[in-house]
Amino acid sequence: SDLVAQGQVAGKRVFIRADLNVPQDDAGHITEDTRIRASIPCIEMALNAGAAVMVTSHLGRPTEGEFKPEDSLAPVAKRMGELMGREILVLANWTDGVTVAPGQLVMLENCRVNKGEKKNNEELAKKMAALCDIFVHDAFGTAHRAEASTYGIAQFAPVACAGPLLAAEMDAISKALLAPKRPLVAIVAGSKVSTKLTILKSLADNVDQLIVGGGIANTFMLAAGLKIGKSLAEPDLLAEATAVIEAMKARGAAVPIPTDVVTAKTFAADAPATIKAATDVADDDLILDIGPQTAQALAEQLKKAGTIVWNGPVGVFEFPAFENGTKVIAHAIAESSAFSIAGGGDTLAAIAKYGIEKQVGYISTGGGAFLEVLEGKTLPAFEILGKRAAG
């Protein structure tokens, strides 16, 4: 947007790397188009400024060098075209040259089909860079990858900068984690501690409350000396969970352990649900949600929060009998005056299910990228764009 304001975009060839990696059903229909919608402002900004615009993205994880019809961005171009009210041409075999006129928009076929994309091959990146005058990285969902169309091209393009989505994502995350209004409450849930251990450790140094849910909470319950029956947990990580609890305690912060839970004997939507005290879990019980007392207590904390970071539903919210915890948390976030930020596929599905999109401060388009930022990592996108900006 700075370049647009400076009048440096008119007549230029602008190459936009977006993240248009959206879910599709078996028939190839797009089932969720948030990423497409989120990518349009950057494209429109370039078009309105008089640029010749190329946009590309990966879609799925295709085999490099072997283009199959299901790898095509054609359905994405169709959906984007409907949203923008224009037809968008999809170009295949584009690395050797692209013809595009000022004011025109073309979509370059799935960039991950190009040999060398994933490994950030220098020759491929230089070919891509040669297609443009300005490279715009607007793919926050892919900001944690250093591939030819995200990293190499940013090294070699004449000008490389961040697009508005990439910038907005980083602003929201910085607001939540670097200069938060306190108390800062994080909800980290999901099936495994192992996949989110780095996040838990990183947040343990920063947040005032660390609410754990799902299988992660089960491991923390074990660490607190509670029995969890045959619930999903990682007993190997008890020492790590204890270390997180201790680190939080040492700062006067807390990891609330559930006081009640919703259990079943089998993992099924129609399994009878029983609410139990956390101290009464039987050997053959599966914990599938936090109990109503725990949910209410957490909701009170969320209402008092200054900032909320949410990643992961706290129970099996896809099954109505085990959705209460996630539903109560979602509504508490919606009602809280805190600045809230949420990310991750399951979290977005919960937000959509409870219709609270408008009440969440910022919904990230990142899955893995959002998690890596929570881990405290500097993502490759920001590293290379920072280097370019520094000259």
Residue 163 binds ligand 3PG (CB under 6 A): no
Q: Please give the C-alpha separations between residue 185 and each of 138, 161, 270, 298, 357, in angstroms, as whole numbers.
A: 28, 32, 33, 10, 19
Distance in Å, CB of 288 to ligand 3PG, minimum: 26
CA distances from 179 to 44, 93, 252, 339 (A): 31, 45, 19, 11
Is the CB of residue 378 less than 8 Å from the CB of residue 144? no
Of positions 62, 75, 141, 343, contacts ligand 3PG by CB under 6 A? 141
Is 325 a catalytic site residue?
Answer: no
Q: Check binding of 291 to ligand 3PG (CB under 6 A).
A: no
Question: Is 95 a binder of ligand 3PG (CB under 6 A)?
Answer: no
Catalytic residue check, 358 = no
CB-count exposure of residue 205 (10 Å: 0-12, 13-18, 19+) = exposed
Q: How many residues bind ligand 3PG (CB under 6 A)?
A: 8
* 145 near ligand 3PG, rule: CB under 6 A: yes
> Considering beta carbons, is residue 103 or 368 the nearer one to ligand 3PG?
368
- Distant-in-sequence, close-in-space partners of 52: CB < 8 Å, separation ≥ 6: 11, 12, 13, 14, 100, 101, 102, 103, 104
Q: Tell whether residue 347 is among the known ligand binding residues.
A: yes
Q: How many whole angstroms from its chain centre is CA 327? A: 20
197 is in an annotated binding site: no
Residue 141 and residue 163 in contact, taking contact as beta carbons nearer than 8 Å: no
Q: Is 345 a catalytic residue?
A: yes
Span interacting with ligand 3PG, options 85-93, 139-147, 254-262, 310-318, rule CB under 6 A: 139-147
Q: Measured from the CB atom, is 14 or 111 closer to ligand 3PG? A: 111
Q: Which CB sits closer to ligand 3PG, 57 or 218?
A: 57
210: left (phi over 0), alpha (psi -120 to 50) or beta: beta
Cα 174 from Cα 160, distance rounded (Å): 22
Using CB under 6 A as the binding rule, whether residue 368 contacts ligand 3PG is answered as yes
Rounded Cα–Cα distance for residues 292 and 147 (Å): 45
Residues serving a catalytic function are: 35, 192, 345, 368
Annotated binding site for substrate: 19-21, 35, 58-61, 112, 145
Annotated binding site for ATP: 196, 318, 344-347
Kindly list the residues in this chain that would bind ligand 3PG in the complex (CB under 6 A).
19, 21, 61, 141-142, 145, 367-368
